[in-house]
């Protein structure tokens, strides 16, 4: 993306690029490669800008809220939420994650610390756990995981809003919300009532998942929540023995939906046991092995997400 001059400060041979979104050192590469600019000693500073959200009348106390949703269950929405949250943290941002999947909160398993319970402070606010550098709040930390299924129906919607409002978040740049799967009443109420900056839709390339992903996109658009992008998960599987790639759930379905709906495709993530294994034991690959090729690939999606969120918000304010 073009770098406005106002993002650069220069002092003798030192130059600082201050970006209003989470970013990697890679953003400095074009500047370092430039014939004239390359003479400076470049430094990157991340100062995430608070962007407008879908409820302008509510105070923006939570940073930029990004909901991660899927029309269909089991497509990897929670896994993607966790990896994106950790990746944004690695890109220099202060990040929180809210497990809004009241039917089956999986965050305590994926981030670890299942045995720890959330503390409630004197103002009756829940203190989120800090796991792998990000702040996490989940009903799974509050209730016994086996009991989580009782938070259903009208109670689930109320519990979700309470969890959102009554968590004592520190100052955040991004709050990732792992939504319950589907496009029913809970999702609609959440999308209508909470201050959301953008939505990420997760799907597999499978036809049944794609139809539901499009339903999700339509739901968010109806209530004025911009779609920041789409992630196609479980896009292909590479055999570790022979290297053959197999599109188990069909190929390029997510890409097709992204084209049709005119939303950015933020990534096509493979089905890979190394992604699952880390999440099963509370040690996600993104934090356990940040330089692993899969971690780098997922971080590229997070980088694109941060840029899209920012540029879409700029375009909206100009309209």
User: CA-CA distance, 120 to 58, in Å (whole number)?
Assistant: 24
Q: Least distance (Å) from ligand ATP to the CB of residue 64? A: 21
Among 40, 169, 174, 269, binds ligand ATP (CB under 6 A): 269
Distance from C-alpha of 264 to C-alpha of 4, rounded to nearest angstrom? 23
Contact 135, 95 (CB under 8 A): yes
Which of 73, 264, 282, 290 is in the footprint of ligand ATP by CB under 6 A?
73
The secondary structure element, H or E, covering residue 178 is: strand 174-178
Nearest Cα neighbor of 213 from 198, 224, 192, 229 is 229
Helices (H) and strands (E) in the chain, counts: 11, 15
Give the integer Cα–Cα distance in Å for 286 and 275. 9
Q: Which stretch binds ligand ATP (CB under 6 A): 45-53, 115-123, 222-230, 270-278?
A: 270-278
Helices 253-261, 207-222: axis angle to 10 degrees equals 30
- Shortest gap between Cβ of 291 and ligand ATP (angstroms)? 19
Is residue 72 marked as binding?
yes
What is the pattern of x (binds ligand ATP, CB under 6 A) and - over residues 88-107? -------------x--x-x-
> Which of the stretches 152-160, 247-255, 273-281, 307-315 binds ligand ATP when contact is defined by CB under 6 A?
273-281
- Of 40 and 236, the one with the shorter C-beta distance to ligand ATP is 236
Per rule CB under 6 A, is residue 74 in the interface with ligand ATP?
Answer: yes
> Which region, judged by CB under 6 A, interacts with ligand ATP, from 35-43, 74-82, 133-141, 146-154?
74-82
Residue 256 CB contacts under 8 Å (≥ 6 apart), including other chains? 210
Binding site for ligand ATP (CB under 6 A): 70, 73-79, 101, 104, 106, 181, 233-234, 269, 271-272, 275-276, 279
């Amino acid at each position: 993306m073009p770098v406005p001059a106002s993002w650069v400060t220069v002092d003798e041979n030192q130059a600082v690029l201050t970006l209003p979104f989470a970013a990697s050192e890679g953003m400095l590469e074009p500047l370092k490669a430039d014939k004239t600019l390359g003479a400076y000693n470049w430094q990157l500073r991340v100062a995430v800008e608070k962007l407008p959200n879908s409820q302008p009348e509510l105070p923006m106390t939570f940073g930029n809220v990004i909901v991660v949703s899927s029309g269909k269950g089991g497509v990897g929405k929670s896994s993607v939420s966790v990896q994106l949250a950790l990746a944004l943290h690695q890109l220099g941002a202060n990040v929180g994650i809210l497990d809004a999947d009241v039917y089956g909160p999986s965050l305590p398993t994926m981030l670890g610390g299942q045995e720890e319970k959330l503390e409630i402070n004197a103002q009756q606010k829940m203190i989120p756990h800090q796991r792998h550098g990000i702040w996490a709040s989940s009903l799974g930390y509050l209730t016994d995981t086996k009991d989580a299924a009782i938070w259903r129906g009208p109670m689930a919607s109320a519990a979700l809003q309470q969890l959102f409002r009554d968590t004592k978040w520190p100052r955040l740049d991004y709050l990732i919300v792992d939504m319950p799967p589907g496009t029913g009443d809970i999702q609609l109420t959440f999308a209508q009532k909470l201050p959301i900056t953008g939505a990420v839709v997760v799907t597999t390339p499978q036809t049944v998942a794609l139809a539901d992903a499009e339903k999700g996109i339509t739901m968010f658009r109806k209530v004025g929540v911009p779609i920041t992008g789409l992630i196609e998960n479980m896009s292909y599987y590479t055999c570790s023995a022979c290297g053959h790639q197999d599109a188990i759930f069909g190929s390029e379905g997510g890409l097709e939906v992204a084209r049709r709906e005119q939303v950015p495709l933020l990534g096509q993530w493979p089905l890979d046991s190394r992604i699952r294994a880390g999440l099963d034991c509370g040690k996600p690959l993104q934090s356990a092995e940040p330089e692993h090729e899969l971690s780098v690939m997922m971080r590229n999606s997070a980088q694109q997400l941060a840029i899209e969120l920012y540029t879409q918000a700029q375009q909206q304010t100009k309209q």
